[in-house]
Amino acid sequence: MSADAQAAIQAVWRIESARLIAGLTRLVRDVGVAEDLAQDALVAALEQWPESGVPDNPGAWLMATAKRRGIDQLRRRATLDRKHAELGRELADGADDDFDAVTEERVEDHLLRLIFMTCHPVLSRDARVALTLRLLGGLTTPEIARAFLVSEATVAQRIVRAKRTLAEAHVPFEAPGGHERAARLESVLEVVYLVFNEGYAATAGEDWVRPSLCSEALRLGRILAGLAPDEPEVHGLVALMELQASRLRARVGADGEPVLLADQDRGRWDYVLIGRGLRALERAQALGAPLGPYTLQAAIAACHARARTQEETDWVRIAALYDALSQLAPSPVVELNRAVAVSMAFGPAAGLELVDALAGERALATYHLLPSVRGELLARLGRDDEARVEFARAAALTSNERERTLLLRRSAARPTP
């Protein structure tokens, strides 16, 4: 198979796989079986399309093929319980339906149900991330493994266990309503943002950023915004990701080294993404609900996006927004970020006081950004020897090679005479 043909098929798969699996899950009521059928259809495409060409409606071709494979599997079994017999008849009765007839009428509902299913709280956080990237992002097991720096076997095991857990827990293929919807939506948004954050600031490895993960998270967020247009926090998350993604090109130097916000060339920021992010923030705010944590973080990111220079940044407003965020979603990490904003608005001594108050937080005991921030504030106060100690401690805690190099360089730096 030529490289061009393989690339074309993979592109089709990325576009159609989530819709295909969602439509099949509606039919078979088992996300594991649905994915197996979809993968069988992909294998058939890889075998046939290089010779026959990509069909005019590739999604319909994949759906019809997957359904035929499902019927064949059921008919080959020596014994069938009543449920399987009924499922076989249901599939057979609609065997001639094309992809559009099965999924297009309510494709939004099917995709939304699939997102809620893959992000169900019955699964661990790692399992939710892996399953969502596999079924909705269309990523392969090796791609997920490379992105999160774990073995392919680990990712494969997480996905298998996740599908088994969903089946054993009889998780329904539905988008919940009422209070349950709000609780489950929080899990969905958390998974999408976890994927984005791993791309924006990689926790380990040799790369400071992984733009492909940011792109996948943005794609999932945009899909979710289209499926749930009345949920302000969905738009808030999309706004936050668009605004942060706008800085990706400026976050790394020519050799891949980290470039901190204060040192970034703002001419390299993506102002198309900034425009999209600001519009998404407006949509979140226009829905009239109290601002949620993602929308508040997006408002903070908007303050940076609107500033054409570091000096123009409205740090007083950012500090106020962090005050609101700490009231709504208190956490040691939020407090650390608030301390940075306070230091920029009211001086490093004010920020250092807040940072020192976090010294006993167990959640930050191995968090490298705590000594990193403390080192920065000490350096701004002229306490260079203490600052170097903090930078060295931060370097020892981080698992990211690029970040470690940056922190060690700062630890070794001598004060300017």
Whether residue 98 has pLDDT greater than 50: no
Q: Which long-range contacts (CB under 8 A, 24 or more apart) does 29-36 make?
A: 29/173, 30/167, 31/114, 31/117, 31/118, 31/135, 31/163, 31/166, 31/167, 31/173, 32/163, 32/164, 32/166, 32/167, 33/70, 35/134, 35/135, 35/163
What's the pLDDT tens digit per position in 212-243?
Answer: 889 989 989 998 998 889 999 999 999 999 99
CA distances from 213 to 34, 81, 208, 210, 296 (A): 25, 42, 12, 6, 23
Nearest to 39 by CA among 11, 70, 78, 8: 70
pLDDT value at residue 26 = 80
Q: Where are the extended beta strands (E) located within 25-114?
A: none
- Answer for the pair 204, 229: CB distance below 8 angstroms, yes or no: no
pLDDT of the residue at 302: 98
3-state secondary structure of 134: helix
- Tokens representing 195 are 């994927």
The continuous run of DSSP H or E covering 399 comes out as strand 399-400
Q: Which residue has the higher pLDDT, 48 or 241?
A: 241
| 210 within 8 A of 235, measured Cβ to Cβ | no
Please provide the distance, in angstroms rounded to a whole number, between the alpha carbons at the two ends of the chain: 64
pLDDT digits (tens, 9 = 90+) for 60-73: 888 888 888 777 76
pLDDT of residue 81: 54
* Closest C-alpha among 188, 160, 398 to residue 373: 398
Q: In whole angstroms, what is the distance from residue 120 CA to residue 106 CA?
A: 21
CB neighbour list of residue 77: distance below 8 Å, 6 or more residues apart: 84
Q: How much is the average pLDDT of 122-136?
A: 91
Model confidence at 347, pLDDT cuts 50, 70, 90, reads very high
How far are the Cα atoms of 44, 59, 61, 389 from residue 40, in angstroms, in the given order? Answer: 6, 14, 12, 56
Is the pLDDT at 100 greater than 60? The verdict is: no
> Which residues lie across from 205 on neighbouring strands?
400
Predicted local confidence at residue 57, as pLDDT: 86
- Of residues 70 and 80, the one with the higher pLDDT is 70
Choose between 104 and 360: higher pLDDT: 360
Question: Which residue is it, tokens 């997480």?
Answer: 158
Which tens digits make up the pLDDT trace of 303-346? 999 999 999 999 999 999 999 999 999 999 999 999 999 999 99
**Residue 133 confidence (pLDDT) above 80:** yes
Tokens 């599997």 belong to residue = 73
pLDDT at 355: 97
Q: 359 vs 18, which has greater pLDDT?
A: 359
Reported as a pLDDT band with limits 50, 70 and 90, residue 104 is very low
The DSSP secondary-structure symbol of 269 reads S
pLDDT above 70 (res 86): no
**Do 342 and 350 meet the contact criterion of CB atoms below 8 Å apart?**
yes
Q: Is the pLDDT higher at 204 or at 125?
A: 125
Q: For 253-293, what is each residue's pLDDT tens digit? A: 988 889 999 999 999 999 999 999 999 999 999 998 899 99
- Looking at every residue in the chain, the average pLDDT score rounds to 87
Identify the pLDDT of residue 109: 73
Please tell me the predicted confidence (pLDDT) of residue 95.
45
pLDDT in tens, 158-195: 999 999 999 999 988 888 877 788 778 888 999 999 89
Q: What percent of the chain has pLDDT over 90?
A: 52
